[in-house]
Amino acid sequence: MSDAAQDNLNVFWFLPTHGDGRYLGTTEGGRAVDLPYLQQVALAADNLGYYGVLIPTGKSCEDSWLVASALAPITKRLRYLVAVRPGLQPPSLAARMAATLDRLSEGRLLINVVTGGDPVENKGDGIFLSHAERYQVTREFLEVYSRLLKGEKVDYHGEHIRVEGAEVLFPPVQEDGPPLFFGGSSEEALEVAANQIDTYLTWGEPVEQVAEKIAVVRQRAEERGRTLDYGIRLHVIVRETEEEAWAAADKLIAHLDDDTIAAAQKIFSRMDSTGQARMSALHGGSKDGLRIAPNLWAGVGLVRGGAGTALVGSPQQVADRIREYQALGIKNFIFSGYPHLEEAHRFAELVMPLLPLASNAEKRQRTINTGPFGETIGGDRRPGKQGN
């Protein structure tokens, strides 16, 4: 195991601003995602010791910047991974927004750089560029954006972006600005990661595939004299036994029919995202053969774009699989589960104690009633651990 794999892990949760529920692809068991519900999820993640939360971006979601601005004041330690969108935002505006939210959250902002892989959605947002052109915009955007947050006054004349005398007058809390996260599997994306990103993210493919991708990014970064952090985006279905976990996975897609799956796959097929193509290849649009690796299940990707795989199993099995990814040098794990409020608690209670998290030590130092003691017995004493 590498030295990087010995480090403490950063475990994130997810804010489901595109919707939530107990089943995929149906209104059955659906749940309203309003501000009070998002507050519940954020407060749970903060109190349970999650490092941060990812807020998704796109036309299917509430705006990530406004959501983070609404939730940051009610949380204490939780970090917010919020998207900048090259091509949708000028870099100077994005830099000012980042600096402002970083100050308002007292340094708890992280930035997710999202190029966008759906040509239809892009056209709705006024972007009519090819895949290669969008990544060229991303490179130029980051050149200007990063220099601005370092305090520079920037003149820049690129193929797509031009600024004169751009500057950020009110600096961020974090030196040089909030860290940059970024995911992508195409050749152009790997180049952006190696040259300009702090943390490279991958979706949850089998360990061997993730290892190959990270090795490429690491080598390219090293050739440029850079060292990156790495992260992975996964769903999780954990129960006290493996049998219960797989039953929960089957239940999650119990209302999915072939027409719903086909409609979703048709949308995914129009995308020019290499990462989305890799996700879709894991299940082939069929409920058959969804167990693609030990404790790795591709069922979520039947109808959900982006991250489409879940770790499924007992607490120890899930922790073991996390350790396998950690051994590749991955330290940032971004999880989600349905419904997101309950699953945030379940993962924190069953799996996080098995992982090397800095928050574990912090939680042990809190007052006694915040520990995992259960209800006081007979109003007189704390319960002891019950043997099997």
Domain-located, residue 133 = yes
First to last CA, the chain: 33
Domain-located, residue 244 = no
What pTM was estimated for this model as a whole? 0.92
Domain-located, residue 296 = no
Q: 163 and 140 in contact (C-beta within 8 Å)?
A: no
Q: At 107, which CATH number?
A: 3.20.20.30
**32: CB partners within 8 A, 6+ apart:** none
Number of domains present in the structure of the chain = 1
Indicate the DSSP class of residue 301: G
Domain-located, residue 25 = yes
- Looking up tokens 């195409």, which residue turns up? 186
Residue 367, number of CB atoms within 10 A of its CB = 6
Q: What is the pairing mode between strands 52-54 and 229-238?
A: unpaired
Domain-located, residue 38 = yes
Domain of residue 114 covers 10-235+314-359
Region of 139 (left: φ > 0; alpha: ψ -120 to 50; beta: rest) is: alpha
Domain-located, residue 110 = yes
Task: Tell me the C-alpha distance between 234 and 351, whole Å.
Answer: 14
Domain-located, residue 377 = no
The pLDDT tens digits along the chain (388 residues) read 344 445 799 999 999 999 999 999 999 999 999 999 999 999 999 999 999 999 999 998 999 999 999 999 999 999 999 999 999 999 999 999 999 999 999 999 999 999 987 888 888 988 898 989 999 999 999 999 999 999 999 999 999 999 999 999 999 999 999 999 999 889 999 999 999 999 999 989 999 999 999 999 999 999 999 999 999 999 999 999 999 999 999 999 999 898 898 888 888 888 777 877 887 787 877 888 899 999 999 999 998 888 899 999 999 999 999 999 999 999 999 999 999 999 999 999 999 999 999 664 455 444 556 666 677 676 677 787 765 5
Domain-located, residue 180 = yes
Cα 334-336-342 angle, rounded to 5 deg: 135
